[in-house]
Amino acid sequence: MLYPAEQKKYFRVPGTYDPEESRLMGLILRPDTWTAAKVYEKHDDDNYDVALPTVYTGFYHKVKNPGLAGATEPSWATTPGGETVDGETGLIFEAVMYNLMPLSENIVSCTVTATNGVTVSSLSHSDSSIQFMIQPLLPVTPPETAPLALDLGVFDVVVFVTKDNGEKSDFTMHFKIGGH
């Protein structure tokens, strides 16, 4: 899942969290740049590939219609919602304002915390993305040690990021637990 850059508050994670399962999550602060002859996919409205032009335009481009990228980089649309046709296989990108991490900045450290007794682990990061694992909430022995999230039906995960220029940012993901 790539969360839209225009997000204003916390990120509402679609669907519900199954408290019996662990869940690998990621946050991409800078998408990969466009690649020739790459298959770009769109699975649904919330799950699609994106491309960042190799020369900064102020936009990233999400797949509107999947397909194979051409041999040369297209001339990118530079208006919000503008379309870019790439190659000859029907690949269409839609322009989205880019206010994520600039190409000149990189992640140097990050921490992840969760609310309401939820545990996160297996934290890793690259120069431009973060991954972590949300641990199962059930079964819990003894039951009185169950996370408060099970009673409330919700929890948040907060990702704290430090970039190589010293700037610090935080991102909050809001989860609803299935069955609530």
Do 47 and 25 lie in one domain? The reply is no
Domain boundary among 97, 113, 138: 97
Same domain, 108 and 80: no
The count of structural domains within the chain is 2
pLDDT at 4 over 50: no
Is the domain of 162 the same as that of 127? yes
Same domain? For 66 and 119 the reply is: no
Q: Do 52 and 25 fall into the same domain?
A: no
Q: Name the maximum alpha-carbon separation found in the chain.
A: 60
Q: Which residues are registered as beta bridge partners of 42?
A: 48
**6 found inside a domain:** no
Residues 56, 87: one domain? Answer: yes
Closest residue by Cα to residue 147 from 158, 157, 156, 137: 137
CATH code: domain of residue 133? 2.60.40
Question: Confidence class of residue 26 from pLDDT cuts 50, 70 and 90?
Answer: confident
* Residues 83 and 108 occupy one common structural domain: no
Q: Tell me, yes or no, whether 111 and 171 share the same domain.
A: yes
- Rounded to whole angstroms, the Cα distance separating 48 from 149 reads 30
Identify whether 1 is part of a domain.
no
Are 91 and 124 found together in one domain?
no
Residue 92 inside a domain? The answer is yes
Same domain assignment for residues 58 and 91: yes
> How many angstroms separate the CA atoms of 10 and 172, rounded?
5
pTM of the model: 0.74
Domain, as residue range, for 89? 39-97
- pLDDT on residue 180: 53
Give residue-wise pLDDT tens across range 32-58.
899 999 999 998 887 789 999 998 888
Q: Work out the pLDDT band at 133, boundaries 50, 70, 90.
A: very high
Please say which residue of 97, 124, 140 terminates a domain: 97
**How buried is 31 (Cβ within 10 angstroms: 0-12 exposed, 13-18 middle, 19+ buried)?**
buried
Residues 142-158: tens digit of each pLDDT? 777 789 999 999 999 99
Domain shared by 81 and 127, yes or no = no
Residue 125 counted as domain residue: yes
Separation of first and last alpha carbons in the chain = 23
Q: Is the pLDDT of residue 119 over 90?
A: yes
